[in-house]
Chains A and B, each alone.
Chain A
Amino acid sequence: MAKNPETDDTMETTKQNQSEEEVEHSDEQKQEDELRSLLLSDIGDLPLSPPSATQVNFVSYFITDFTKPGHDQYIYRHANGLCVIGLAPTHLAFKDEGGITNIDFNVGKSDRSVLKVSGKRKKNAMRSESNTALCKVSTAKDSYIVRCCVKGSLLEVNERLIKQPHLLSSSADREGYIAIIMPTRPADWTKNKESLITLEEYKAKKEVSL
């Protein structure tokens, strides 16, 4: 049987191209597989419920009965020094029937929600003392003043609370935070810290299981 050398040759080359493509494809596949195994390398150690971003990045402090009984607040301090202020779970406002109806930042001498802090140096930030008023939280029955608890510059208030007061009821420790304060001097913070208690002490004091 006479072989046709031309067709044989072309058949050979297409086979070669195919196998080259296969090699390339399997190389890519190998890279992807390697990547995937790296991405999932720690998969065995995953806990059922991991710590939250707040728990990992912040240190929790509490202050109880601040200026008035039942006025319990939290101060979450980030490693960079910034403090997030909010209502602790045992605050009186949560005990009122009907829940939280309104949050008003227009207290003291100015409306805290219209502050415009700008630049790296945080120009125009309001200087606050620990008892400076931040906002007034109203329930169906009563209203409560929330204070800074930390001496420093007020960087931001959570203006979302104005339109969505329910955030405070549903997640006071996250989306329902009140404000962010930057202590101006390390000495101010150390002095402040003396009046604060830790999470453990807070739980013990209020006999709350969190």
Chain B
Amino acid sequence: MWRNKKRVCERCIFRLVSVEPFDSDLSSVSASTLRSWLESGDEEDASSSCSRVCIVCLGVLQLVFSDAKQTLVRSECGSDYAARITDLVKEEGHEFDSFAFEVSVPSTIVENERAVLFYLKGKYNSEGWVQSDKISVKDALKVLVLDPLKASLGAKSDSSSFHIRLTYSKASDEAQSASETTKHERKKRKTGEENGSTCMSENSFEKVYEPCILSVHCNKMPIFFSGRYFKMSKQIFLLLTGDLYRWIVQSYLLQYSRNVSQSRWIIDDERMGEASVEEIIGGNILPACFGDSYKFHAAGREDIDVRMLGSGRPFLVEVQNSRKCPSQESLMEIEEKINNSEKKLVGVKDLKFIGSQCWAMMREGEAEKQKQYAALVWISRPLEEKDINSITALKELKILQKTPVRVLHRRSPLERERTIHWMKVEKIKGSSHYFLLHLCTQAGTYIKEFVHGDLGRTSPSMGSILGCRAEIIQLDVTDVKMGDF
């Protein structure tokens, strides 16, 4: 019989040839029973036929695979196979009550199946079973395995955020030779169809003698946490990568210069380990989730030497492939740990788990209309009462800012109009030259340049308003207004 000669497995035979659909009833029948139904008296040795890899499904539907250690694993039935998969899934350590099941098979299977179907259609054109839709190898495996897998894992199967993916790949596979053979085969197949040949040439098949290698991957979709952070130190970055690179470049340039105070840029070895807000917050949340990695997103940003005080700035932490979702209590513990740490570089509040609405909230935050600051300002002459009055009287002050020199190397040279909504002067006891300037400005305003004038490129500036020289000693963000975040 051509079937035995061509080494197609029992389940594939039933799948491709039978009129009955390959449903769960059929799938619960063991391979040996199926074989006995097919036996038609040929002198085929039972053991040899089951030890040969099916040329269509490459062992997938025979429930045979090679594991990571290259050991051959055979399962007699769906439940046995499910048990082995369950073991592999449990090793990943996820907690879940539902899962999405995905299967990926090598393209050779699809191609070999096409070749078989082509041959069958050519030879048995008149018969009814030839034209019916055939279930794919992937779907057949799911039918075979899904119910026992659900029972074995104790979970439902649905469009969950937890994915279990079975990836079958060819055993003797080098990526190059695979693509070469497929190109080759595609050409041959095309010519075969054009000629209308009805023979199934050996060459249109890729001969595979070994079962596929199976790897099981579990992945949980990212989970999100939101909160507000405080930055208490003037020597700590917000984010690690971009800021750190810039810091390294700038400190290199300054190191080889003279007459510049370097204290702002020196970060000693000890502090380098906790150099950013991102690391302190993300680095504490990640272990509680047993996740693989995290990403930190903040609604806006501030310079390294600017503190974030007052209301705090909204942020999101995205955790990839988390195994456990920490409870609200553990989140509170994380908050306390960060807030009570010895160095007091960063603070956190309102840390909580958040769902998919987080992105809408972040976008809203980035387009925030107003931000509030407190700047410690020095002027070259004593502050007078009339100065305080003239500053407070300025509402919705429009200023024109040319791109500040300190960012001009990487930003477009533009002139930007910005609005200072209001300003308040707070006198400092014992000093007539220093005062605290509270101001509320439009997003995107360069505050430092507004105070010292940036060589006259920001106008009006604090100096031009008061008719003297003004310098900014310290800048703190005191409020980031953002809705319900």
**Chain A interfacial positions (CB closer than 8 Å to B):** 35, 38-40, 42-43, 46, 48-60, 77-82, 84, 117-120, 122, 155-156, 158, 160, 167, 174-175, 177, 180, 182, 198-200
Contacts and interface: CB of A to CB of B under 8 A. Distances in A.
Interface stretch (B23-31, B282-290, B328-336, B404-412): B404-412
A199 B412 contact: no
A117 B474 contact: no
Contacts of A59: 254, 257-260
Contact of A78 (B232, B374, B406): B406
Contact of A156 (B307, B407, B413, B473): B413
A39 B436 contact: yes
Interface string B459-485: 000000000010111101010000000
A160 B454 CA distance: 14
B471 to A, nearest CB: 6
11 contacts: A35-B310, A35-B478, A38-B309, A43-B434, A52-B471, A56-B260, A60-B259, A82-B409, A155-B408, A182-B408, A198-B259
Contact of A117 (B406, B413, B455, B456): B413
Contact of B428 (A40, A77, A80, A117): A40
A79 B456 contact: no
A120 B478 contact: no
Interface string B235-268: 0000000000000001001100111110010000
A84 B405 CA distance: 9
Given A50-B378, A53-B472, A79-B253, A39 B309 contact: yes
A174 B436 CA distance: 24
Contacts of A78: 405-406, 409
Contacts of B411: 120
B480 to A, nearest CB: 14
Given A35-B310, A46-B434, A117-B413, A84 B428 contact: no
A197 to B, nearest CB: 11
A170 to B, nearest CB: 11
Interface of B: 232, 250, 253-254, 257-261, 264, 307, 309-310, 374, 376, 378, 402, 405-413, 428, 431, 433-434, 436, 448, 452-456, 469, 471-474, 476, 478
A198 B256 CA distance: 12
A199 B260 CA distance: 11
A176 B119 CA distance: 87
Given A39-B376, A56-B260, A82 B405 contact: yes
A56 B413 contact: no
Contact of A167 (B378, B402, B452, B456): B456
Contacts of B257: 59, 77
B96 to A, nearest CB: 42
Given A43-B428, A119-B412, A80 B406 contact: yes
Nearest to B257: A59
A166 to B, nearest CB: 12
A177 B405 CA distance: 12
Given A39-B476, A80-B406, A160-B456, A56 B261 contact: yes
A84 B408 CA distance: 12
B439 to A, nearest CB: 13
Contacts of A52: 452, 469, 471
A82 B472 CA distance: 21
A98 B141 CA distance: 96
B433 to A, nearest CB: 8
B259 A79 contact: no
Nearest to B380: A49
Contacts of A84: 405, 455
A88 to B, nearest CB: 15
Contacts of B452: 52-53
Contact of B408 (A54, A180, A198, A200): A180
A38 B411 CA distance: 33
Given A46-B473, A79-B250, A79-B253, A40 B436 contact: yes
Contact of A57 (B307, B309, B374, B406): B406
Nearest 3 A-B pairs (CB), nearest first?
A175-B456, A59-B257, A80-B409
Contact of A50 (B310, B374, B471): B471
Contacts of B261: 51, 56
B259 A81 contact: no
A74 to B, nearest CB: 12
Contact of A79 (B232, B254, B374, B408): B254
Nearest to B473: A50
Contacts of A155: 408, 413
Most central of B232, B261, B433, B471 by chain A CB within 10 Å: B471
A119 B448 CA distance: 23
Nearest to A54: B455
A58 B253 CA distance: 11
A120 B412 contact: yes
Contacts of A79: 250, 253-254, 406
Most central of B307, B413, B431 by chain A CB within 10 Å: B413
Nearest to A32: B310
B246 to A, nearest CB: 9
Contact of B405 (A160, A180, A199): A180
A77 B448 CA distance: 19
Contacts of A156: 402, 413
Contacts of B453: 174-175
Contacts of A51: 261, 471
